[in-house]
Amino acid sequence: MSTRPPFVELLDAARAAGRGVGAFNVVLLEHAEAMAAGAARAGLPVVLQISENCIRYHGGLEPLTVATQAIARAVDVEVLVHLDHVEDPELARRGIDLGVDSIMYDGSKLPYAENVAATRALAEEAHAAGIALEAELGEVGGKDGVHAPGARTDPDEAAEFVAATGVDALAVAVGTSHAMQTRVASVDRDLIARLAASVPVPLVLHGSSGLSDEELRAAVEVGMTKVNISTHLNGVFTRAVRAVLADRPDLTDPRKYVAAGRAALEDETERLLRLLAGTA
């Protein structure tokens, strides 16, 4: 039996097969329910991500994370629980204690040497507990880091960073940016291919909400493996809820309108997972 973290097994297998793995952010409990159900319908794995910002919104790590772990265990497909953009090392350590499957440690605001040292230390702690660590190279794009518009990751530097830190996956800058509400961005396909050839671990695409279906598939086809999507899915959820409330302004029971958001999110989760895996 392999002792490698499930996150590593999943991404390595997807990378070898040229498939993309969807990694979708959980904001409310209904997000986790919908995403797990959509993955079950697709018969494909999914990574459920909980960001440091979302943990702060819910007042702590445990409430949403433990509930999401329970939802992940209740379905017949592989559903992994991942902490996303964690800047606080102590929060990452609490995630390790809680037994999440993987953590994205974001030390990109630190000077390079400090980022390497902190990332390497957390990678060693995570690996000792059977947990994977994702990271990103550094603040190459200004205040928004590697996901700022115009930022690009250098393949040689990326390979050096992975070797120095021992991380299991690397977020890279190839043309996307966070929080885009329109799907008009494009990726640098040549750069992705060069990164995939240089970096020995799976590549992660953050800020994927701004990409069309065609761009998402192209990113996977040239070497991207883990594809993070949040803003687009939040928009799907919100538009469905807004439509019900516009039609039924008398509603006061949240279950009667939030359920519409959950159903829409389940459908889009299934669709996106099939698209990324190349089975659509």
**DSSP-derived 3-state class of residue 173:** coil
Instruction: Give the separation between CA 75 and CA 63, rounded to whole angstroms.
Output: 20
Judge whether 168 counts as a catalytic residue: no
Instruction: Locate all alpha helices (DSSP H) within the chain, ordered by sequence.
Output: 6-17, 29-42, 52-57, 62-73, 89-98, 112-128, 155-165, 189-198, 213-221, 231-247, 255-277
Own/partner pairs for 227-230, CB < 8 Å, 24+ apart? 227/20, 227/21, 227/22, 227/23, 227/276, 228/23, 228/24, 228/25, 228/49, 228/84, 228/204, 229/22, 229/23, 229/24, 229/25, 229/272, 230/24, 230/25, 230/27, 230/49, 230/51
Q: Which of 12, 76, 84, 253 is catalytic?
A: 84
Burial class of residue 3 (count of CB atoms within 10 Å of its CB; 0-12, 13-18, 19+): exposed
**Bridge partners of 104?**
134
Residues serving a catalytic function are 84
